[in-house]
Amino acid sequence: MDVVSSLPKVTGEVVYLAKTQEKPQTYTYDPPDGVAKTNIVNDPHTVPIFDMRPIADGLNLDVQGFALVDAPTSVGDFYDEEQLRTTYYREAEDLVKQATGASRVVVFDHTIRKRTHGVEDRTPGIPRQPVSRIHGDYTELSGPQRVRDLMGAEADDLLKRRFAIVNVWRPIRGPLFDAPLAVCDAGSLADGDLVGQDLIYRDRTGEIYGLTFNPKHRWYYAPAMQADEALLLKCFDSAKDGRARFMPHTSFADPNAPSDMLPRESIELRTLVFFDA
């Protein structure tokens, strides 16, 4: 019997990207008059989302593109920037180094998300909201560009060797039932499923991936995550040797969530991961 099909699961809606002739794009600010904020067409699908907990010990960043790990922290207040940068960044670097075998890990930013119902993500003055459309944070183009943007004179040398971008995602308060993270097994992706889309800022244009529907995609989540657990998400890998390179993910509504659940509070760190070879 297929191990995956025997796992506990829920049925949830995830929002794919509809195929269009124009390259998808979204402005992160109010665009010029007469220009739509986005030309993205959503393509929602209801899919099985499997509980990863029974197979957590066998998950691997280089195979599925994600891993669930125990991650105790010394941080007492995730809203304290000083604690994040002096304590949590170091903890996350050690966690990712241990999980990947990397020679060097550099945290380069973090995002705290705090659910405010009825508010769109990126609303000025409001904390970031859970992202409800499937996306991959970096593409074939924007992954290397991030190294160039951040690593200065070292970048050219670092880009000659393998590097990856790995996110560390955890609840700030648990158990987390509101808008948990659904992750797509990188091994279930087919060529052409990922589509580059522009994210337009005032001073630059970034590129992320959207995902078009394929019934072979396998989705997972970790129900009721606690604040001493973390999901590691591989968002980019420069190696082209068959290992997982990109891993789409999204929030979704868990149909088993209790009605009195706490609004989601979560933090994600993004790390550059460098290897000696």
Question: Where in the chain does DSSP place strands (E)?
Answer: 9-17, 25-27, 42-51, 66-70, 104-114, 163-171, 181-184, 194-200, 205-211, 219-221, 229-237, 249-251, 265-274
The count of domains in the chain is: 1
Residue 191's pLDDT band (boundaries 50, 70, 90)? very high
pLDDT digits (tens, 9 = 90+) for 118-166: 888 878 888 899 999 999 999 999 999 999 999 999 999 999 999 999 9
Percent of the chain with pLDDT over 70: 100
Q: Answer positive or negative: Cα dihedral of 126, 91, 228, 165.
A: positive
Q: What is the pLDDT of residue 117?
A: 84
Q: Rg of the chain over CA atoms, in angstroms?
A: 18
Q: Which two tokens stand for residue 195?
A: 């589509």
128-132, 178-182, 221-225, 270-274: least confident range = 128-132
pLDDT digits (tens, 9 = 90+) for 219-239: 999 999 999 999 999 999 999
- What CATH number is given to the structural domain containing 125? 2.60.120
Domain span including residue 138: 4-274
Q: Is the pLDDT of residue 2 over 80?
A: no
